[in-house]
């Protein structure tokens, strides 16, 4: 699950997992205490930071964009790649230098890295004062008070029920147009390379009524696009039976009065025709045709799917415990094109050099990419994560040099495919939602079409952020469409 909007030629693999978001808007309502937060990793982390902000504002904190002015510094962290964890450690060192001059500052770590390392950062390394896992954010007021009182402040309890459904997030770094809505938490898939089930707990879905209510509130405030977030949105299932928590319990019970992800999509799409609906991330094992038919039925459900493949070889996919074969993945791609259409944007995650991957199996990934031609991808070489099934059971036996070479081949091919896909869009006209200025010129707008492709065009007189424009594409790069409003 990652932020996909980049007005550049290609996403480098490090950017996708070590991206950073800071609070961009200073808010001083005279509450006396200020906090600063940085978020790393996936969109779910950014959404969680908005929940934490809401909780802390209720406890008498204002936000600040300058960490030197903060009473409380928080890092919401990612553990999926070693680079992301190292980035956080470097930031903690910088914050502790500030703390030497201002000992009253409290430094806290949140999210997946906090869950994975727990008390180690607090007691052994002594570089934080507070540790809170993804299901412990309601406990933040107590943890902050204990840390500021010099006590051990840690809560990494993983809940089977927490969804934060009743908390209205405070939108951070918001353009006032697009927003995230978390629809579920946790993950029940045990992909052997992944730490998420161990850092975010078991899967549980949020009451659909609260999701629709949040979407309506956002639309009423002027937002025109929402992204429904989950580690695996296709496995969203909600039952009104309070005794049933999560997809596995619902399916085991035989409960029929449930809301599926396809039904949830329709419910949110009906909020208003001018509210675009996106979602992330999908899983090839769980995506049903019902979801695709919902996308085809509603014009405001965007024609874009992030469908991680990880490998193009069935044996490697089995070793990764992905739950599908190469052929089954391609069947889902074919279904997308058949039901939604060829204009539907498809992106992927790809891992090079997973344990025991041979050169021939790497070529299977290359051939799958050639067959699909993804619009863009998030590409990495395999990095062993402590505590995962792969780290416990498999030898990380592909030489680093081979991993890097294979990754470079994947990146090079993706550049070709991104450019090819965009060249096919030249001459066509798309409905574009204006999100803000282009990175390269204040005389141009930047927005995205339904397929999640960045579109840049000169500003029509009187146009403004949050409006839709029909834009005819006149040129392109590998990641950006260039056009003119019509």
Whether residue 185 sits in one domain with residue 150 = no
Judge residue 135's burial from the number of C-beta atoms within 10 Å of its C-beta, 0-12 exposed, 13-18 middle, 19 or more buried. buried
Average pLDDT over residues 160-171: 90
pLDDT above 60 (res 23):
no
Closest among 215, 138, 139, 140 to 183, alpha carbons compared = 215
Q: Which of 120, 155, 190 is the last residue of a domain?
A: 155
Whether pLDDT at 133 is above 80: yes
Q: CA–CA separation, 448 vs 455, rounded Å?
A: 5
Q: What is the pLDDT of residue 5?
A: 27
Mean pLDDT, the chain, rounded, equals: 90
Q: Are residues 395 and 474 in the same domain?
A: no
Upper half-sphere CA count for residue 235 (Cβ side, 13 Å): 24
Overall number of domains in the chain? 3
Same domain, 351 and 237: yes
Residue 169 within a domain: no
Q: Does a structural domain hold residue 411?
A: yes
| Predicted pLDDT at 248 | 61
Q: What is the CATH number of the domain that holds 393?
A: 3.80.30.20
328 occurs within a structural domain? yes
Least confident of 38-47, 337-346, 363-372, 417-426: 38-47
**Are 146 and 204 members of one domain?**
no
Identify which has the larger pLDDT, 13 or 368. 368
Phi, psi torsion values for 118, nearest 5 degrees: 45, -125
* CATH classification of the domain holding 434: 2.40.50.140
The verdict on 341 and 481 lying in the same domain is no
219 shares a domain with 117: no
Residues 184 and 333 in one domain: yes
Q: What is the CATH number of the domain that holds 85?
A: 3.40.50.12160
Contacts of 124 (CB under 8 A, 6+ apart): none
| pTM score of the predicted model | 0.88
Per-residue pLDDT for 1 more than 70? no
Residues 286 and 407 in one domain: yes
The three-point CA angle 444-275-215 to 5° equals 125
Alpha-carbon separation of residue 325 from 133, 190, 273, 321, 372 (angstroms): 34, 16, 37, 10, 15
Same-domain pairing of 338 and 442? no
- Establish if 139 belongs to a structural domain: yes
Let me know if residue 136 belongs to a domain.
yes
Domain that holds residue 263: 178-423
């Amino acid at each position: 699950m990652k932020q996909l909007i980049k007005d550049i030629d290609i996403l480098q693999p490090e950017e996708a997992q070590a991206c950073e978001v800071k609070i961009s808007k200073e808010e001083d309502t005279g509450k006396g205490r200020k906090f600063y937060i940085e978020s790393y990793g996936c969109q779910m982390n950014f959404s969680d930071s908005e929940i934490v902000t809401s909780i802390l504002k209720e406890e008498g904190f204002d936000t600040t964009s300058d960490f030197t002015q903060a009473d409380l510094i928080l890092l919401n962290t990612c553990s999926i790649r070693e680079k992301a964890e190292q980035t956080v450690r470097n930031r903690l060192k910088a914050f502790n230098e500030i703390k030497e001059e201002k000992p009253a500052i409290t430094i806290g770590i949140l999210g997946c890295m906090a869950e994975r390392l727990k008390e180690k950062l607090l007691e052994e390394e002594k570089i934080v004062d507070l540790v809170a896992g993804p299901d412990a954010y309601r406990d933040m007021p107590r943890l902050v008070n204990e840390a500021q009182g010099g006590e051990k402040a840690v809560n990494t309890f993983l809940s089977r029920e927490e969804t934060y459904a009743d908390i209205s997030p405070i939108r951070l770094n918001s353009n006032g147009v697009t927003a995230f809505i978390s629809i579920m938490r946790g993950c029940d898939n045990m992909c052997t390379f992944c730490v998420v089930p161990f850092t975010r707990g078991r899967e549980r879905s949020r009451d659909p009524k609260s999701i629709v209510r949040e979407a309506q509130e956002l639309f009423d405030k002027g937002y025109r696009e929402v992204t429904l977030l989950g580690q695996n949105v296709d496995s969203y299932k909600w039952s009104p039976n309070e005794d049933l928590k999560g997809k596995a319990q619902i399916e085991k019970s035989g409960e029929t009065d449930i809301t599926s992800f396809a039904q949830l999509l329709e419910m949110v799409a009906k909020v208003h025709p001018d509210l675009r609906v996106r979602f992330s991330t999908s899983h090839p094992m769980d995506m049903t045709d019902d979801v695709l038919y919902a996308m085809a039925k509603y014009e405001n459900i965007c024609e874009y799917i992030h469908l991680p493949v990880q490998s193009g070889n069935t044996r490697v996919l089995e070793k990764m415990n992905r739950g599908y074969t190469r052929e089954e993945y391609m069947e889902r791609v074919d279904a997308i094109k058949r039901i939604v259409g060829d204009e539907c944007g498809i992106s992927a995650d790809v891992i090079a050099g997973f344990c025991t991957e041979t050169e021939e199996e790497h070529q299977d990934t290359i051939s799958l990419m050639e067959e699909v031609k993804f619009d863009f991808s998030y590409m990495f070489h395999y990095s062993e994560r402590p505590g995962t099934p792969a780290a416990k059971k498999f030898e990380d036996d592909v030489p680093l040099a081979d991993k890097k070479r294979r990754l470079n081949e994947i990146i090079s091919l993706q550049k070709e495919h991104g450019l090819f896909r965009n060249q096919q869009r030249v001459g066509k006209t798309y409905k574009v939602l204006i999100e803000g200025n282009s990175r390269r010129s204040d005389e141009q707008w930047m927005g995205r079409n339904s397929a999640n492709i960045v579109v840049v065009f000169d500003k029509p007189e009187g146009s403004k952020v949050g409006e839709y424009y029909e834009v005819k594409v006149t040129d392109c790069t590998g990641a950006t469409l260039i056009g003119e409003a019509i």
